[in-house]
């Protein structure tokens, strides 16, 4: 299949970069250049911010039914293009086609969810002390938004930000990842076809640090939303704070999984293999630190390793591929360095631990045991196909390790005990806790972390609130006569 070059989308028009500069887009499965993405100049960033500002008043005043209708029509159009968009996503990002298709379908569901939420931005009447006074609190869109989305889920993460902002009545300048530009651009295409007014959504690409510093400081921008790594998130949050702008930060994690002896250990192992190696482990909520009650760790290890060994690693467009490549050579080298450090410090490689071939960024599904807290991998999010097996004796010991790191995005637990379940759901320090199944990241549920994993939520009924401000109005009735 052909892969489209990606242009900028500013004020309702598709444009080349003003300087003629482009960035190569590569297929991570082959290393071949498959396309180019245009680079925005500073003047084009100004145009995008100005367009978002100019369009804001009209979009904020638009009927919620009109805003809802645009999102619904865009969702329908995206579903009609799902097969094509999924293939584009696989070419530029590497994930298996079935995962790419699920992401695109999920993005359409997100648009549908926020189409309904647009109708529910309720205010309230506050009872007054004086019967002659009326007190109300109304919700208003915060203003133009600068949003930054990642390469690991370039369609669904952009849909979360776009859907919430547009439903609330905000406009947006979006900077998607340059590694995966074309799949995100499809969202702008379907929204444009759905009747979104010019300037409400603008797409820019280029040098990330230059774009973020320009947009966050821009007077037109009133809110920041970022999904990405903890170090970059902290930098952008600090910059947003410097300009007194609220921010939503969905950052990384190092998710623990607590597996107790009273769970169905072999079934849990199979479920966790599918979750761990989804998108080659490049998932912010990917389970990584597997804390296994020591009486069943051998059973879990044997089942987990056997099923991980059976995974087919290959190009995402090849039929039957269970796991694709890492997105870049840099990501592959980062994972390899963590494994080498652990191996040098005495960790045991139960499975994998090596690059596959010389072409593309393929890495073996890897399982390590014999770990200690001094190893880098026990403290740094691997963001790759790497599982860590760690035994525990008591629930307190497992919770201590689970909560040890400064991250707090997702946690998982498997137990047949109601008492244990109650303990872990209360004491796990995470923004999201999934017990006895995988139940995260649905459009209707909150999605966000605590501690170094960020703040704010991008799912559920709370998500739209980040794009709204509360205005309190108190009014005394004029006396008659």
Give the tens place of pLDDT for each residue, 286-309: 999 999 999 999 999 999 999 999
Q: pLDDT by residue (tens digit) across 382-404?
A: 999 999 999 999 999 999 999 99
pLDDT-based confidence at 337, cuts 50/70/90? very high
What are the tens digits of pLDDT across the range 250-285?
999 999 999 999 999 999 999 999 999 999 999 999
The mean pLDDT value of the chain amounts to 97
Active-site annotation holder among 99, 250, 293, 364: 250
Contact 295, 450 (CB under 8 A): no
- Please, what's the b/e burial string for 433-461 (b: 16 or more CB within 10 A of its CB; e: otherwise)? bbbeeeebbebeebbbbebbbbbbbbbbe
User: Is pLDDT above 80 for 328?
Assistant: yes
Percent of the chain residues past pLDDT 70, beyond the cut: 100
Q: If you average pLDDT over residues 433-439, what whole number do you get?
A: 98
Q: How far apart are CA 21 and CA 36, in angstroms?
A: 10
Flag whether pLDDT at 16 surpasses 70: yes
Annotated catalytic residue within 178, 284, 350, 381: 284
What average pLDDT does this structure show over 94-107? 98
**pLDDT band at residue 436 under the 50/70/90 scheme:** very high
Structural domain boundaries in the chain: 8-251+454-471, 255-443
In terms of Cβ atoms closer than 10 Å to its own Cβ (0-12, 13-18, 19+), residue 190 is buried
CA–CA gap between residue 26 and residue 30 (Å, rounded): 8
Region for 137 from its dihedrals, namely left if φ exceeds 0, alpha if ψ lies in -120 to 50, beta otherwise: beta
Concerning whether 462 is annotated as a catalytic residue, the answer is no
| pLDDT confidence bin for 478, thresholds 50/70/90 | confident
pLDDT tens-digit series, residues 137-157: 999 999 999 999 999 999 999
Task: With H, G, I as helix, E, B as strand and everything else as coil, classify residue 262.
Answer: coil
**For range 427-445, the mean pLDDT:** 97
| 277: Cβ contacts below 8 Å, ≥ 6 apart | 308, 311, 322, 323, 365, 385
Residue 222 main-chain phi, psi, to 5 deg: -115, -10
- 38 catalytic per annotation: no
The model's pLDDT over 194-242, given as tens digits with 9 standing for 90+, comes to 999 999 999 999 999 999 999 999 999 999 999 999 999 999 999 999 9
Alpha-carbon torsion angle 398, 404, 410, 415, nearest 10: 10
pLDDT at 480 over 90: no
pLDDT of residue 335: 98
| pLDDT value, residue 481 | 60
Q: Which CATH number fits domain 8-251+454-471: 3.40.605.10, 3.30.110.30, 3.30.420.40, 3.30.230.10?
A: 3.40.605.10
Percent of the chain with pLDDT over 90: 98
pLDDT band for 411, please (50, 70, 90 cuts): very high
For residue 132, what pLDDT band results from cuts at 50, 70 and 90? Answer: very high
**pLDDT at 479 (0 to 100):** 76
CATH number among 3.40.309.10, 3.20.20.80, 2.40.128.20, 3.40.50.720, domain 255-443: 3.40.309.10
């Amino acid at each position: 299949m052909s892969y489209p070059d990606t242009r900028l989308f500013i004020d309702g028009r598709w444009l080349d970069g003003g300087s003629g500069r482009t960035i190569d887009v590569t297929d991570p499965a082959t290393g071949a250049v498959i396309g180019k993405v245009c680079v925005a100049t500073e003047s084009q960033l100004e145009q995008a911010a100005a367009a978002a500002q100019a369009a804001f008043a009209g979009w904020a005043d638009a009927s919620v039914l009109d805003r809802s209708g645009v999102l619904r029509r865009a969702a329908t159009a995206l579903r009609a293009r799902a097969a094509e968009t999924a293939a584009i996503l696989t070419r530029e990002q590497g994930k298996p086609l079935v995962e790419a298709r699920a992401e695109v379908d999920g993005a359409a569901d997100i648009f549908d969810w926020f189409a309904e939420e647009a109708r529910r931005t309720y205010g309230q009447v506050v009872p007054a002390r004086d019967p002659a006074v009326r007190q109300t609190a109304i919700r208003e869109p915060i203003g133009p938004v600068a949003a930054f989305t990642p390469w690991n889920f370039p369609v669904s993460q952009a849909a979360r930000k776009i859907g919430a902002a547009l439903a609330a009545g905000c406009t947006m300048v979006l900077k998607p990842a340059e590694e995966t530009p074309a799949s995100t651009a499809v969202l702008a295409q379907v929204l444009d076809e759905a009747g979104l007014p010019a300037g409400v959504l603008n797409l820019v690409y280029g040098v990330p640090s230059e774009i973020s510093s320009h947009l966050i400081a821009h007077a037109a921008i009133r809110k920041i939303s970022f999904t990405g790594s903890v170090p970059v998130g902290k930098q952008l949050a600090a910059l947003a704070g410097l300009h007194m702008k609220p921010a939503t930060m969905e950052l990384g994690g190092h998710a623990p999984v607590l597996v107790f002896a009273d769970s169905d250990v072999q079934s849990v192992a199979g479920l966790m293999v599918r979750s761990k190696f989804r998108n080659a482990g490049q998932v912010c909520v990917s389970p990584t630190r597997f804390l296994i009650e020591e009486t069943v760790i051998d059973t879990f290890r044997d089942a987990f390793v056997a099923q991980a060994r059976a995974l087919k690693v290959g190009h995402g467009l090849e039929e039957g591929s269970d796991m694709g490549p890492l997105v870049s050579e840099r990501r592959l080298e980062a994972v390899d360095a963590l494994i080498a450090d652990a191996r040098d410090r005495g960790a045991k490689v139960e499975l994998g631990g090596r690059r596959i071939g010389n072409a593309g960024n393929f890495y073996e599904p890897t399982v390590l045991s014999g770990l200690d807290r001094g190893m880098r991998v026990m403290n740094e999010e691997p963001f790759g196909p790497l599982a860590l097996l760690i035994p525990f004796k008591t629930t307190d010991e497992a919770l201590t390790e689970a909560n040890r790191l400064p991250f707090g995005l997702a946690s998982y637990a498997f137990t047949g005990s109601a008492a244990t379940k109650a303990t872990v759901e209360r004491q796990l320090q995470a923004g999201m806790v999934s017990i006895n199944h995988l139940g995260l990241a649905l459009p209707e549920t909150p999605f966000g972390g605590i501690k170094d994993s960020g703040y704010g939520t991008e799912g559920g009924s709370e998500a739209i609130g980040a794009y709204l401000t509360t205005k309190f109005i108190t009014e005394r009735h004029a006396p008659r006569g």
